[in-house]
Amino acid sequence: MAVQQCKRSKMRVRQRKASKRYEGLEPHTCTNCGAACLPHRVCTKCGFYDGHQARQIMQTAAKAQPIRRPRLWHPMSS
């Protein structure tokens, strides 16, 4: 079994691990529209991926309002 030569301090170990820390995904630009999008994913603005139309994106002028349904009466609600 291997025996360590000398103890590595907590500071030295943490400094070494700090350089390998996960820094998240870098946003890339879409080749079709130039919008920021995540790598290896379909663009949310135009729907293109790898040079072809992967998804049809609906362009709406005004945001649709949700349908408000009347609240039903319930004996446990106050």
Is 37 buried (19+), middle (13-18) or exposed (0-12) by CB count in 10 A? buried
The sign of the torsion formed by the CA atoms of 54, 58, 63, 65 equals: negative
Residue type, 65: Q
Mean pLDDT of 2-22: 92
**E strand intervals along 1-78:** 28-29, 36-37, 48-49, 52-53
pTM: 0.46
Residue 77 confidence class, pLDDT cut points 50, 70, 90: low
pLDDT, tens digit, 9 for 90 and up, residues 21-74 = 888 888 889 888 888 988 888 888 888 888 888 887 776 555 555 666 666 676
Contact 47, 57 (CB under 8 A): yes
- The domain limits of the chain are 26-57
Q: Quick one: pLDDT at residue 47?
A: 86
Q: Quick one: pLDDT at residue 31?
A: 87
Q: Residue 17: what are its φ and ψ, rounded to 5°?
A: -75, -25
Contacts with 66 (C-beta within 8 Å, 6 or more apart), sequence order: none
